[in-house]
Amino acid sequence: MPIRKILVPLSSKAGAEAALGLAFAVAKRWQAHVLALHVRIDARDVAPLAGEGLSGAMIEEMMSATEREANERARNLREIFARAAAEAAIPTAEPDPDHRAANAHFAVVVGREEEITAQQARLSDLTLVPSPMADGEGASSDALHAVLFDSGRPVLIAPLSPPASIGERVCVAWNGTAESAAAVYAALPWLKEAKRVRILSAQEYQRRGPEAPELAAYLALHGIKAELATFRPVEREVGAGLLQAAREAEADLLVMGAYSHSRLRQLILGGVTRHVLEHATLPVLMNR
């Protein structure tokens, strides 16, 4: 299925320009609509956090300061959006089902970012998020995990710097899990258009399930010819070995399942998903 709607949640200036640049490049490729969404905090939500011992006037001042800061953040993000759209020559308009050309619009809503982002992602073909390392969040990015865990849709993580291309040379990280299968299914439009597809597998990465040659046979039924390649961990890090293999393949897109183990386990002990989120320098398409 082609990509027709791309959601780009924006919470801060960090990484926003690179994410929008990539989103507009993807939109041009698929003639898609981009919804750049900023979820503003409700100033009234700070009142319960103020604690006891504060006067009504002090709480009111906190709420006013929160409102001013929220207005400023939304204004900055709208300016970044307008500038990026102009540079990419992307018209800004509401989505039009009869108009098959790339366009975009910027929207601001008030509420809880994780909840609204996940809800909007459910009716988007792809959610593109800024690099979680842009503001130092790393593997704890709320918007990213809201999409992964509560939308049922794929997420594309933008690198810190805009890539020269995307989707021409695709690497698929395969370990036989349901998560990696979901990622492959979400990536089929990309894989069909790619000039080269390489399946990356490793004994240390494989879980119980179909192995890489079976994936290659499945993709062949879709008319996709895929190479097989194995990789080894780097300094005992499977994620580091995976990223090194993707670099050696000169990949401009990595497809992989996310959190085959629990998120808590990976946050405490580390894991492939966490390593990739914190070190990838190419776009990564994840699904769970």
- What is the reported pLDDT for 53? 61
Could you give the CA distance from residue 201 to residue 215 in angstroms, rounded to a whole number? 11
**Which comes out higher in pLDDT, residue 77 or 97?**
77
Q: Hey, what are 38's tokens?
A: 């900023």
pLDDT tens by residue, 223-259: 999 999 999 999 999 999 999 999 999 999 999 999 8
Other beta carbons within 10 angstroms of residue 279's beta carbon come to: 14
**With a threshold of 0.95, does the pTM exceed it?**
no
Kindly provide the residue ranges of all beta strands, DSSP E only, lying in 10-163, ordered along the sequence: 33-40, 103-110, 126-129, 155-157
pLDDT tens by residue, 94-137: 777 776 789 999 999 999 899 999 999 999 999 999 988 877 65
Order the strands of the 169-173 sheet from edge to edge.
Answer: 103-110, 33-40, 5-9, 126-129, 155-157, 284-287, 253-257, 169-173, 196-201, 226-230
**What residue ranges define each of the domains in the chain, with the CATH number in brackets?**
5-44+72-157 (3.40.50.620), 169-287 (3.40.50.620)
Q: Tell me which DSSP letter residue 45 carries.
A: G
pLDDT higher than 60, residue 140: no
pLDDT tens by residue, 190-201: 999 999 999 999
Could you give the CA distance from residue 176 to residue 206 in angstroms, rounded to a whole number? 6
